[in-house]
């Protein structure tokens, strides 16, 4: 039975071949041999591609299940809703995919595989770049591109001319020679010129893979050092850059609270413009006051796609809306709520939904929940159930609040975090009129209305704007962009830079006794490309014509190197 012996295995040794002696024995490769074999497999291109595909597949669970770093409340809700499956997924790291052991292992193996694959190829490529073009073959008849001609010039003169043609710079980079050229005296007056181009193809390939390694390092660095926070800021107020001031906050594993620069940002005003015909947004501008440590307050603006640099991070304008300024007193006249409440836009005309939660400050009174809509520009429309209000324009030309009233227990004392934009109706009762229909409050700015069932009063003081800001700090973003551009440039170069070799041989075709006027030189040429190259023959014709002075400009038929 034949035995397979992988590369690197020790030689087979046998005892003398007497009939009674032992059969040939294969010596084991040992731990070192197996490690060498494993390293060769890991650093092969096919394994690198396999790991790249595996990394993409491993990232899918992070888009299916909520992640603790981004939405810890959603993870808690999932574990509550799925008591059987949730703990199993938690044990395997489904809620911490990008920091899990198995995802990190794939990431590191891909990094090692790429580095181990690139370094040997780089060494071979550098040796090839420093090498000399191969000398002209003895016969040109077997090459895919061929050409020939005659000239009255001597082989030495044609050699100098062919060398100049081949070394002429690339049209986009005139200082970069097109070919590396080597001339040889083959004896008996015959000269040959060998030209080689296309090392940029392999260079581009290596740049592409090196850029992938750079991207892996940059993305990993960004995941470790980054932090990101979102907050809503109402006109006339502001926030200090501390972790507790954000509505949501996510951070990398190496994040430290000391990395937050203690600046303050206040929203002074907000401007918006809309197309009166299509209602499309034209411009959003947040006018803010930025105060950095040791600096005087400065007036700044934040626009969409024009973030503000503050404290080593960028502050983006993510959204905007309206915040009705409400004052609410309970039945005893005690003040229970005072200030703006953000309502979130739901459509193009800024029909905004919001919730106002009114706790009890007087014993024996119900808690109140108000849920409804803000209509920036009210319009009355007829429906089968009677007239209804809608918004017809996003600007506050005729704002109105339309609210439903609930009473009972808001659940604020349970200790469980609540979404401020949702009303937990489990322990609440909707207030209805004598006919059993839900009570609807319609309030305009400056008006005060009585809450039903003697729950108190509500005053709509006015309408303010709010902005949703997104602060991001990622020191690797610039490097990600640079390496992404390098990867694109390297890939384009490796795909479009042809690898070609061109040879020309100049053989004298005269006798020693002939005068100079009868001297002629036979010129033969051949070309070879790596793979199919439709531009090889035109390139060879161009070089041959320029050498024979039939086409003095000698410009290439293609612009690739």
Whether the pLDDT of residue 360 is over 80: the answer is yes
Q: Supply the pLDDT for residue 329.
A: 93
Whether the pLDDT of residue 553 is over 50: the answer is no
Whether the pLDDT of residue 557 is over 80: the answer is no
How large is the average pLDDT for residues 222-229?
88
Whether the pLDDT of residue 343 is over 80: the answer is yes
Whether the pLDDT of residue 454 is over 60: the answer is yes
What the block records as the tokens of 369 is: 């929940």
CA gap 122, 521 in Å, rounded: 42
238-242, 256-260, 552-556: the lowest-pLDDT one: 552-556
Do the beta carbons of residue 223 and residue 216 sit within 8 Å? no
- Helix axes of 45-58 and 101-130: crossing angle, nearest 10 degrees: 150
**119 within domain boundaries:** yes
Place of tokens 């020790």: 10
pTM: 0.68
Helix (H, G, I), strand (E, B) or coil at 517: helix
How large is the average pLDDT for residues 389-403?
94
Mean pLDDT estimate for the chain:
86
Both 352 and 370 in a single domain?
yes
**215 within domain boundaries:** no
Confidence at 144, pLDDT banded by 50, 70, 90: very high
Helix (H, G, I), strand (E, B) or coil at 189: coil
Q: Supply the pLDDT for residue 447.
A: 96
Q: Supply the pLDDT for residue 24.
A: 56
Strands 145-151 and 352-358: unpaired
Whether the pLDDT of residue 254 is over 90: the answer is no
Q: Which residues pair with 230 in a beta bridge?
A: 248, 470
Both 311 and 237 in a single domain?
yes
Radius of gyration of the chain (CA): 39
Q: Supply the pLDDT for residue 556.
A: 38
Q: Which of 92, 125, 158 is the last residue of a domain?
A: 125
Q: Supply the pLDDT for residue 322.
A: 97
Q: Supply the pLDDT for residue 494.
A: 87
**6 within domain boundaries:** no
Both 86 and 119 in a single domain?
yes
Report for 84-88, 207-211, 223-227, 269-273: range of highest mean pLDDT: 269-273
Confidence at 407, pLDDT banded by 50, 70, 90: very high
Task: Give tens-digit pLDDT for 464-509.
Answer: 999 999 999 999 999 999 999 999 999 998 888 888 999 999 999 8
How large is the average pLDDT for residues 146-157?
92
Residue with the bigger pLDDT between 387 and 467: it is 467
Q: Supply the pLDDT for residue 366.
A: 86
Q: Which of 91, 125, 159 is the last residue of a domain?
A: 125
Q: Among residues 466, 26, 476, 473, which one has the least CA distance to residue 215?
A: 476
Helix (H, G, I), strand (E, B) or coil at 538: helix
Domain count, the chain: 4
**216 within domain boundaries:** no
Question: Could you tell me the end-to-end alpha-carbon distance of the chain, in angstroms, rounded to an integer?
Answer: 53
Q: Which of 102, 125, 148 is the last residue of a domain?
A: 125
Q: Supply the pLDDT for residue 33.
A: 85
**190 within domain boundaries:** yes
DSSP state of 22: P
User: Residue 313 CB: number of other CB atoms within 10 A?
Assistant: 23
Both 459 and 339 in a single domain?
yes
Task: Give tens-digit pLDDT for 259-298.
Answer: 889 999 999 999 999 999 899 999 999 999 999 999 999 9
Both 175 and 93 in a single domain?
no
How large is the average pLDDT for residues 114-118?
87
Q: Supply the pLDDT for residue 25.
A: 53
User: Residue 159 CB: number of other CB atoms within 10 A?
Assistant: 23
φ and ψ of 156, to 5 deg:
-65, -45
Q: How far is CA 342 from CA 230, 335, 392, 447, 482, in A?
A: 15, 20, 20, 19, 40
Both 304 and 346 in a single domain?
no
Task: Give tens-digit pLDDT for 32-61.
Answer: 888 888 888 888 878 888 998 999 899 999
Buried b (16+ CB within 10 A) or exposed e, 380-389: eeeeeeeeee
How large is the average pLDDT for residues 122-146?
88
Both 427 and 332 in a single domain?
yes
How large is the average pLDDT for residues 149-174?
83
**209 within domain boundaries:** no
Q: Supply the pLDDT for residue 363.
A: 77
Both 161 and 268 in a single domain?
no
How large is the average pLDDT for residues 160-189?
80
Strands 248-251 and 281-291: unpaired
Whether the pLDDT of residue 238 is over 90: the answer is yes
Residue with the bigger pLDDT between 407 and 33: it is 407
CA gap 524, 291 in Å, rounded: 77
Q: Would the CA dihedral through 120, 122, 126, 132 be positive or negative?
A: positive
CA gap 232, 239 in Å, rounded: 9
How large is the average pLDDT for residues 160-171?
83
Whether the pLDDT of residue 390 is over 80: the answer is yes
Confidence at 177, pLDDT banded by 50, 70, 90: low
Q: Supply the pLDDT for residue 403.
A: 95
67-71, 171-175, 496-500: the lowest-pLDDT one: 171-175
Which secondary-structure segment (H or E) carries 483? helix 477-496
CA gap 306, 373 in Å, rounded: 31
Both 304 and 365 in a single domain?
no
How large is the average pLDDT for residues 156-183?
80
CA gap 192, 158 in Å, rounded: 10
Percent of the chain with pLDDT over 70: 89
What the block records as the tokens of 524 is: 């033969």
Whether the pLDDT of residue 224 is over 90: the answer is no
Both 236 and 359 in a single domain?
no
If you write DSSP's letter for every residue of 36-52 in order, what string do you get? HHHHHHHTSHHHHHHHH
Both 451 and 362 in a single domain?
yes
What the block records as the tokens of 268 is: 């002074």
Which secondary-structure segment (H or E) carries 34? helix 30-42
**37 within domain boundaries:** no
**390 within domain boundaries:** yes
Q: Supply the pLDDT for residue 355.
A: 95
Determine the structural domain holding residue 88 and report its residue range.
Answer: 43-125
Residue 458: Cβ-neighbour burial (10 angstroms; 0-12, 13-18, 19+): buried
CA gap 269, 309 in Å, rounded: 19
Both 316 and 332 in a single domain?
no
Q: Among residues 438, 279, 456, 261, which one has the least CA distance to residue 351?
A: 279
Q: Supply the pLDDT for residue 200.
A: 84
């Amino acid at each position: 039975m034949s035995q397979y012996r992988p590369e690197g295995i020790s030689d087979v040794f046998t005892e003398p071949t007497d009939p009674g002696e032992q059969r040939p024995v294969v010596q084991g490769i040992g731990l070192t041999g197996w490690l060498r074999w494993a390293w060769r497999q890991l650093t092969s291109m096919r394994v690198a591609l396999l790991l790249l595909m595996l990394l993409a597949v491993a990232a899918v669970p992070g888009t299916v299940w909520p992640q603790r770093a981004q939405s810890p409340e959603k993870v808690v809700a999932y574990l509550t809703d799925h008591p059987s499956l949730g703990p199993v997924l938690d044990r395997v790291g489904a809620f911490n995919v990008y920091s899990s052991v198995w995802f990190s292992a794939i990431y590191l193996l891909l990094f090692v595989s790429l580095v181990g694959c690139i370094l040997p190829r780089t060494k071979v490529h550098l040796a090839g770049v420093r090498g000399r073009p191969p000398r002209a073959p003895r016969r040109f008849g077997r090459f895919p591109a061929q050409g020939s001609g005659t000239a009255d010039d001597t082989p030495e003169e044609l050699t100098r001319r062919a060398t100049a043609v081949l070394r002429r710079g690339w049209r986009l980079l005139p200082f970069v020679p097109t070919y590396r050229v080597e001339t040889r005296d083959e004896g008996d007056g015959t000269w040959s010129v060998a030209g080689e181009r296309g090392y940029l193809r392999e260079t581009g390939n290596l740049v592409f893979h090196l850029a992938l390694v750079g991207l892996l390092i940059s993305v990993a660095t960004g995941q470790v050092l980054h932090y990101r926070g979102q907050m809503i800021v109402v006109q006339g107020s502001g926030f200090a850059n501390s972790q507790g001031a954000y509505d949501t906050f996510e951070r990398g594993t190496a994040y430290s609270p000391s990395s937050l620069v203690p600046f303050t940002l206040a929203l002074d005003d907000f401007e918006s413009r809309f197309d009166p015909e299509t209602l499309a947004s034209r411009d959003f501008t947040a006018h803010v006051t930025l105060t950095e440590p040791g600096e005087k307050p400065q007036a700044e603006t934040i626009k969409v796609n024009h973030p503000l640099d503050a404290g080593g991070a960028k502050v983006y304008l993510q959204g905007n809306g309206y915040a009705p300024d409400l004052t609410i007193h309970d039945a005893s006249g005690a003040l229970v709520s005072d200030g703006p409440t953000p309502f979130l836009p739901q459509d193009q005309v800024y029909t905004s939904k919001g919730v106002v939660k009114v706790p009890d400050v007087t014993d024996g009174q119900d808690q109140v929940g108000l849920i409804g809509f803000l209509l920036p520009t009210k319009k009355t429309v007829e429906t089968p159930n009677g007239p209804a209000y809608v918004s017809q324009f996003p600007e506050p030309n005729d704002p109105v609040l339309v609210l439903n009233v609930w009473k009972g227990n808001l659940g604020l004392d349970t200790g469980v975090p609540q979404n401020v934009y949702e009303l937990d109706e489990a322990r609440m009762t909707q207030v209805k009129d004598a006919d059993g229909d839900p009570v609807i409050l319609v309030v305009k700015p400056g008006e005060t209305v009585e809450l039903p069932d003697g729950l108190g009063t509500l005053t709509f003081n006015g309408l303010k704007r709010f902005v949703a800001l997104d602060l991001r700090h990622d020191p690797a973003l610039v490097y990600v962009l640079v390496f992404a551009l390098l990867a694109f440039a390297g890939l384009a170069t490796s795909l479009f830079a042809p690898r070609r070799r061109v040879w020309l041989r100049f053989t004298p075709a005269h006798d020693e006794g002939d005068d100079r006027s009868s001297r002629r030189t036979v010129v033969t040429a051949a070309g070879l490309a790596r793979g199919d190259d439709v531009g090889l023959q035109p390139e060879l014709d161009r070089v041959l014509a320029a050498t024979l002075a039939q086409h003095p400009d000698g410009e290439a038929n293609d612009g690739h190197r």
